[in-house]
Structure 1
Amino acid sequence: MTIDGKTAQAPRVLPSPSAEARSHLFGDRTADAYRKALALGVDAVASRVTDVRGPFTGISPDALAPEIEQVDLDRPLGDSAAALAELERLYLRDAVYFHHPRYLAHLNCPVVVPALLGEAVLSAVNSSLDTWDQSAGATLIERRLIDWTAGRIGFGLDADGIFTSGGTQSNLHALVLAREEAFARAGARSSEARQALLPRLRVLASGAAHFSVRKSAKMLGLPMEAVVSVDTTADRRMDVTALRREVDRLRAEGLTVMAVVATAGTTDFGSIDPLAAVADVCEAVGAWLHVDAAYGCGLLVSPTRRHLLEGVERADSVTVDFHKSFFQPVSSSALVVRDSRMMAHATYYADYLNPARMAERRIPNQVDKSLQTTRRFDALKLWMTLRVMGADGVGVLFDEVLDLAVAAHEMLADDPRFEVVGRSQLSTVVFRYRPSEEHAHLADDANLHAREALATSGEGMVAGTRVDGRHFLKFTLLNPRTTPGDIAYVIDLLAGHAEQFVEAATAAGAARDGV
């Protein structure tokens, strides 16, 4: 085409905004882009994990927040490489890395590679575990894993359960079932009868139980006084004599024991309540027994310490957190019940999702059991782990961290700079720096300072807690690659930071006094 004797160029056809957006959808046309993007991401993470010199850089929220706040989310970078480069600066550089051997803080574990493979697969396929027509084989794999876990617990063929987002949701779900069973036993079918009984329901748990027990009670509409704290023995386990005394008192007051929550692995002390003895009490009064084994569930595959869970098979429900003791990525938890009929307490039918006729046709819809509707195929991570390395492989790793805790306890007990609280049945060690008698009044502040200074240095991370009103430090050991040498190194760092604090505080006090 010519205009005024000149050849005009055809206008360049730009891709439409919708075509550009569609190019980012995962599918058959973008499989190669998916491979390349995933390879970039895997390489970025692998490089960072290889290079980290400590579990944390020590960066403060005030330092990092401005960098994130200045990102204009309405102006995309255009490609995965640029986005990953930005992410390196905003996240990967300063992330807390649980795989580092001097991360000794919370109940976070390094993860096994087979589980990461499962994570990649489940994220891409994106199955939703609510109904069969959104998940197919994923539903059956999850059910098979629940059956396997129930078998490890010691439940019979009537057991059932569901994967959840974590221990808090598993505990909530268990108490929902316990509440509904309490209503059923009392014949409280009408709304009026349920409302009349609700304020009289009580849940008993030890003083060392997880905070989610109280949180769940509040969410279930129970009164503030509904959770009754049961005394513990010197080893931080539920005192069964005290439990019997509280049960008798409540019943004498005309109150209903809705549930007893026993803990198999308290967060602070790693203590395991005497499950068999607690089960005896529950059976005698017809109370629901829930065992919160979010932490201690690793004992289910331990080749040497499975006996520590003796009595768990007598529970009505059990919480297990695979993302604590099975070295799985978050989230991977489950609630398992001894009697499958109990799961019906959470069942509701919706014509657009899981109509009752589907149940009549025995279509296996997991939403019939779950508190959630849309739910990830998190079970695949555990499935891949078991199929690649086996339960014995997981159990050996868990035993290694339990052995390490024994070594750490002995190390601290022999160190005159520290005092240790009890001996954990699992992998926690609670201790604190002990100044000289002259400076004993500085102990709490010295321990708080030591923990913060260690994290700020980036050389290690430990947790903190309060014991009898005093500040203590805590190792939570879940990394089989941590060595006694790593423990000794962190102990010396903590002592150094605490000693510097005491010296500075003493000098400041002397200056104030004009000495």
Structure 2
Amino acid sequence: PITIPTPTGTIDPAHLAETLTTTRNQGPGPLLVIATAGTTDTGQIDPLPEIAALCHTHRATLHVDAAYGGPLLFSHPLRPLLNGLDRAHTITLDLHKLGWQPIAAGLLLVPDTTALRPLDHRADYLNADDDTEAGLPDLLGRSLRTTRRPDILKIAVTLRALGRDGLAHLIETVCTTAHRLADLIDAHPDLELHSRPTLSTVLFRPANATADTVAAIRRRLLHQGRAVLGRATTPTGLWLKATLLNPHTRPADLHALLHLIAPPPEGPPADDHRTTP
């Protein structure tokens, strides 16, 4: 595997073009490009249209990891962020974030089932040919994880209960909340915002804080049971990571979180009426 530089957190198409050209010149073998629609650290989305065009030019297969950002497709205003996703050959979705499903509820989308043949495995104790021909269920054909129960029923019930519009509303709500938190951080003199959120993830830290300070703040909040924040390392250092997934989060909750990290200065007592001579 070859890692493409991501100086801004996403794949640089120029570096990808150079890598594909070099690799193709070394031989006619198959090429697979893996792009991301919603990175785990920052929630950023790779430039999918440019990447898809390069894959077409170099006859490379494109797989998009849309585990985080894929559900944006439910939302009309947010869907354009996924332009180019339709040109992927395979896509993965994991609905435990912007789908509010169990953590194991993932999907692998392929153009047809023949694409799954490389995953086929024969084991006499699981899918003996004569048992299959006799009508016994083929466990290896029911789930990629064999005997573990599939989570598709939970996904289907959620879609049935909320529908496309219901899920879209939840997704838009948490993404709006992320922007509201970013606004508060941006306006706070003692806090530093990494960048405007793409999805519902916001990176921030106290201004001029060292990595040790950021890590210590996160552990303190965890030990105190006050807040659960993630951590993300970028070229500019270590950041606190707030992933907003509760559609019932209120502005007061956001203010309370920031007060835990950068308490407001204490003013004089309310009954202090002293004057300066």
Report the 3-state secondary structure (helix = DSSP H, G, I; strand = E; otherwise coil) of the residue aligned with 1:260: strand
Distance 1:339 1:314, change over 3 A: farther
Please state if 1:444 is matched with 2:211: yes
Letter matched to residue 251 of structure 1: R
- The superposition leaves residues 389-430 of structure 1 with CA deviations (integer Å, 9 ceiling, x where unpaired) of 223212211111001111111111111111111222101111
Aligned to 2:273: none
Please state if 1:238 is matched with 2:11: yes
Aligned to 1:292: 65
Report the 3-state secondary structure (helix = DSSP H, G, I; strand = E; otherwise coil) of the residue aligned with 2:239: strand
Aligned to 2:223: 456
Report the 3-state secondary structure (helix = DSSP H, G, I; strand = E; otherwise coil) of the residue aligned with 1:387: helix
User: Structure 2 matches for 1:141-180, cutoff 5 A?
Assistant: none
CA contact under 8 A between 2:21 and 2:58: conserved in structure 1?
A: no
CA contact under 8 A between 2:92 and 2:107: conserved in structure 1?
A: yes
Aligned to 1:281: 54
Report the 3-state secondary structure (helix = DSSP H, G, I; strand = E; otherwise coil) of the residue aligned with 1:323: coil
Please state if 1:479 is matched with 2:246: yes
Distance 1:361 1:344, change over 3 A: farther
Comparing 367-376 with 256-265, which one deviates more in the overlay? 367-376
C-alpha distance in 1 between matches for 2:87 and 2:130: 34
- The superposition leaves residues 129-176 of structure 1 with CA deviations (integer Å, 9 ceiling, x where unpaired) of xxxxxxxxxxxxxxxxxxxxxxxxxxxxxxxxxxxxxxxxxxxxxxxx
2:159 aligned residue (374, 386, 392): 386
Report the 3-state secondary structure (helix = DSSP H, G, I; strand = E; otherwise coil) of the residue aligned with 2:210: helix
User: Structure 2 matches for 1:214-229, cutoff 5 A?
Assistant: 226=1, 228-229=2-3
2:114 aligned residue (330, 338, 341): 341
Quote the sequence identity (%).
37
CA contact under 8 A between 1:346 and 1:369: conserved in structure 2?
A: no
Please state if 1:491 is matched with 2:258: yes
User: Structure 2 matches for 1:56-135, cutoff 5 A?
Assistant: none
Structure 2 length as normaliser, TM-score? 0.86
Report the 3-state secondary structure (helix = DSSP H, G, I; strand = E; otherwise coil) of the residue aligned with 1:289: strand
C-alpha distance in 2 between matches for 1:444 and 1:367: 46
Distance 1:411 1:249, change over 3 A: same
C-alpha distance in 2 between matches for 1:366 and 1:308: 38
Letter matched to residue 15 of structure 2: A
Distance 1:357 1:276, change over 3 A: farther
CA contact under 8 A between 2:42 and 2:232: conserved in structure 1?
A: no
Could you list the runs of 5+ residues in structure 2 that have no partner in the other structure? 266-277
Count of matched residue pairs? 265
Report the 3-state secondary structure (helix = DSSP H, G, I; strand = E; otherwise coil) of the residue aligned with 1:461: coil
2:45 aligned residue (263, 266, 272): 272
Report the 3-state secondary structure (helix = DSSP H, G, I; strand = E; otherwise coil) of the residue aligned with 1:249: helix
- The superposition leaves residues 457-507 of structure 1 with CA deviations (integer Å, 9 ceiling, x where unpaired) of 21212111222262211111111111222111111111149x9xxxxxxxx
Report the 3-state secondary structure (helix = DSSP H, G, I; strand = E; otherwise coil) of the residue aligned with 1:320: strand
Task: Give 1:351 deviation, angstroms.
Answer: 5.1
1:329 aligned residue (79, 89, 102): 102
C-alpha distance in 2 between matches for 1:388 and 1:481: 18
User: Structure 2 matches for 1:417-436, cutoff 5 A?
Assistant: 417-435=190-208
Letter matched to residue 110 of structure 2: V
- The superposition leaves residues 337-389 of structure 1 with CA deviations (integer Å, 9 ceiling, x where unpaired) of 12321112222344554355788899985723754221203111111112222
C-alpha distance in 2 between matches for 1:496 and 1:443: 18
Report the 3-state secondary structure (helix = DSSP H, G, I; strand = E; otherwise coil) of the residue aligned with 2:198: coil
Report the 3-state secondary structure (helix = DSSP H, G, I; strand = E; otherwise coil) of the residue aligned with 2:96: helix
CA contact under 8 A between 1:250 and 1:257: conserved in structure 2?
A: no
User: Structure 2 matches for 1:242-261, cutoff 5 A?
Assistant: 242-254=15-27, 256=29, 258-261=31-34
C-alpha distance in 2 between matches for 1:363 and 1:289: 36
Distance 1:389 1:364, change over 3 A: farther
Could you list the runs of 5+ residues in structure 1 that have no partner in the other structure? 1-225, 436-441, 500-515
Larger fraction in helix: 1
C-alpha distance in 1 between matches for 2:87 and 2:129: 32
Report the 3-state secondary structure (helix = DSSP H, G, I; strand = E; otherwise coil) of the residue aligned with 1:472: strand
2:87 aligned residue (299, 308, 314): 314
- The superposition leaves residues 57-105 of structure 1 with CA deviations (integer Å, 9 ceiling, x where unpaired) of xxxxxxxxxxxxxxxxxxxxxxxxxxxxxxxxxxxxxxxxxxxxxxxxx
- The superposition leaves residues 174-233 of structure 1 with CA deviations (integer Å, 9 ceiling, x where unpaired) of xxxxxxxxxxxxxxxxxxxxxxxxxxxxxxxxxxxxxxxxxxxxxxxxxxxx2x221236
Distance 1:251 1:394, change over 3 A: same
Distance 1:364 1:318, change over 3 A: farther
C-alpha distance in 1 between matches for 2:181 and 2:106: 28
| RMSD (Å) for aligned C-alpha atoms | 2.6
C-alpha distance in 2 between matches for 1:337 and 1:261: 14
Please state if 1:400 is matched with 2:167: no
